[in-house]
Structure 1
Amino acid sequence: MTSSAVLAAADTAERKGRPARPRRSAATRQDWIVGYTMVAPVVLGAVAFVIVPLVAVLWFSLHDWNVLANTFVFSGTDNYERMLADPGLRDSLLASLWFSIGLVVLNVTLALFLAVLLNQKLPGTTTFRTFFFSPVVVSLVAWTIVWSFLLQSDGGINGFLATVGIEGPNWLRNDVTAMLAVIVVQVFKNVGLNMILFLAALQGVPEEIGEAARIDGAGAWRRFRSITLPMISPTILLVMILTIVGSLEVFAQIAVLTGGGPGNSTTVLVYYLYQQAFRFNDFGYASAIAVLMFLIVLVLTLVQWQTRKRWVFNEN
């Protein structure tokens, strides 16, 4: 017997001594096929509409790209170095900071207050809820245009104030009132959605816990602070993430109400990006600003997600 035959015989004997590998049944294979088929649209959508655009924007940010001049030249990190010395970018970051703070504080506070009122089951609750939720389904541009007429120097708000002997300011032509006006318009546009989220969370708080605390002598504020707020803290986290991300994406309100003015007082980061790309045709620099926006949103979301363990109820 040749050596190859001996080796083949030994290998056959070794395989016979091993336990047979279980074969996947037809049902298991079918489950795998169905599973991959179900997740394929989400995976393909994420690749096509999230990952590929992110990579493209990062690539564009490394170039000097002017559409009108038809130039697309690799510039390395020049656009990022330009951001460090750009006073317009610093102004837009500051405007975005003030807008985000004002929006989060007013929106979350008002939404929670309205949800607490609705949870009391007072007469007229349905009408009250409809009144505050209806702006959510109204066209954003139409909503903003109506407010632009109301906020004019001779508009509806100042006309109402004049009837009681008060001379209202030119809301959209003053640095402070212009930013305040944009914040208020955005708050009333989306507060209804957060109100419904808080209302659903409040209705999930067990009534017996609050009743036991009331019997023990806890007042209404103490019950709300020590029982209700911790129980709805997961919803507060969700609302804050949605509101902060939404505050960094505000565009239509700025474009219709103020155009970024007066001066640069309401030129938030996303509007500054729009100006660089579509007004000055500097798509390379605009892409670098888009990368900066992505990093800001990512960092803020990660910070909130990591700190949730300290204040969100039942988080480990």
Structure 2
Amino acid sequence: MVSATRARRPGKATSLAAQRRRSALIAWVFVAPFVLTFGTFGLIPLVSSLAMAFTDLRARDIRTPFNVDFVGIANFVTVLTDESFLRALRNTLFFVVLGVPATLFIALVLAVLLNSVSRRVATFFRVSYYIPVITTIVAVAVVWRLMYQDTGVINTILGTVGINGPNWLSDPNTALVAITVMAIWRNIGGSMVIFLAGLQSIPSEVNEAASIDGAGARQKFFRVTIPMMMPTILLNTILLTTGYMQFFDEPFVMTNGGPLESTTSIALQVYNQFKYGNYSVGAAGAYVLFALVGILAIIQFRFFRQRT
């Protein structure tokens, strides 16, 4: 009987191995469409653009790719010393520094307010604030461009209180601020929903214990709610920073980078380089943007890690 059992063990092992191979094959069949799509439209262009950044490839070299020369980091030096790119960098950082804190603050305040009302009221306002997020950015930009005109809604409202509003998008001093305000308005809804989910995940027992200890509403907010919301705040900060660093549609549709390049972003600058046929310089600019986003993400992770 023992010998019979030993004789069956190799067969069982073979059967288990065959089942594992079959399961792995089925898994790869389901994963294959994503792998092929990502490899074709993601990985290959990513590697190609990185290689392109170290060459002198231009539009005229497309038909003769073997005439392209390796230039090392010359394209990155060109990008980092180009006055137009540096101006685009300043515009982008201004957009991030103004937009991210304002969006986080307004979204958190709205989330706290909605968390204190009934579910039906909260659902109505949550949907209302989230509609701009799912609306096409081109449509939103076109509407806001009309609102910012001399005779638009904003200047009409300012005129009722005796303020003569400027032509917002035609003045280099106000164009970037106007675009930033529109971006803040559009992104509040998404951040608010994430904050609301974070608030609702805080156990009610924690707030009850704080109340028993004599903590007021303000103390509970800053000593309980904010510390427990740090992971959610980190998530929102990174999402907003990454999105704002790559802002492109707003200036492209509303001002095309003008006036006087006052609203040109890094992403728009990279797009213009490709449009003008400077493929290698455009690729280098894209990787500079990638590096900046990565550096900011690392800084934010370390900053919030010390407070969690």
TM-score range, shorter chain: 0.7 to 0.9
Determine helix, strand or coil for the equivalent of 1:311: coil
Aligned match of 1:232: 229
So what's the TM-score if we normalise by structure 2? 0.87
Residue ranges of structure 2 left out of the alignment (5+ in a row):
1-9
Aligned match of 1:290: 286
RMSD value over aligned CA atoms? 2.3
- Matched residue type, 1:292: V
Q: Larger C-alpha radius of gyration, 1 or 2?
A: 1
1-structure distance, mates of 2:166, 2:292: 34
Q: CA deviation at 1:23?
A: 4.6
1-structure distance, mates of 2:100, 2:15: 53
Q: CA deviation at 1:282?
A: 1.2
Q: Aligned pairs, how many?
A: 293
- Matched residue type, 1:277: F
2-structure distance, mates of 1:185, 1:201: 25
Aligned match of 1:302: 298
Aligned match of 1:311: 307
Determine helix, strand or coil for the equivalent of 1:166: coil
Instruction: Tell me which protein shows more helix as a share of its residues.
Output: 2
Aligned match of 1:15: none
2-structure distance, mates of 1:99, 1:263: 17
Are residue 66 (structure 1) and residue 63 (structure 2) matched? no
Aligned match of 1:96: 92
Aligned match of 2:154: 157
- Matched residue type, 1:52: I
**Aligned positions of 1:183-262 closer than 5 A:** 183-262=180-259
- Matched residue type, 1:100: V
**Could you report, residue by residue, the CA deviation over 1:266-293 in whole angstroms, capped at 9, with x for unpaired residues?**
1110011111111x22111111111211
- Specify which of 168, 172, 184 is matched with residue 171 of structure 1: 168
2-structure distance, mates of 1:127, 1:244: 28
- Matched residue type, 2:98: G
Determine helix, strand or coil for the equivalent of 2:57: strand
Percent identical: 36
Report the CA distance shift for 1:33/1:307 in structure 2 as closer, same or farther (over 3 A).
farther
So what's the TM-score if we normalise by structure 1? 0.85
- Specify which of 51, 65, 69 is matched with residue 43 of structure 2: 51
Determine helix, strand or coil for the equivalent of 2:174: helix
Report the CA distance shift for 1:215/1:175 in structure 2 as closer, same or farther (over 3 A).
farther
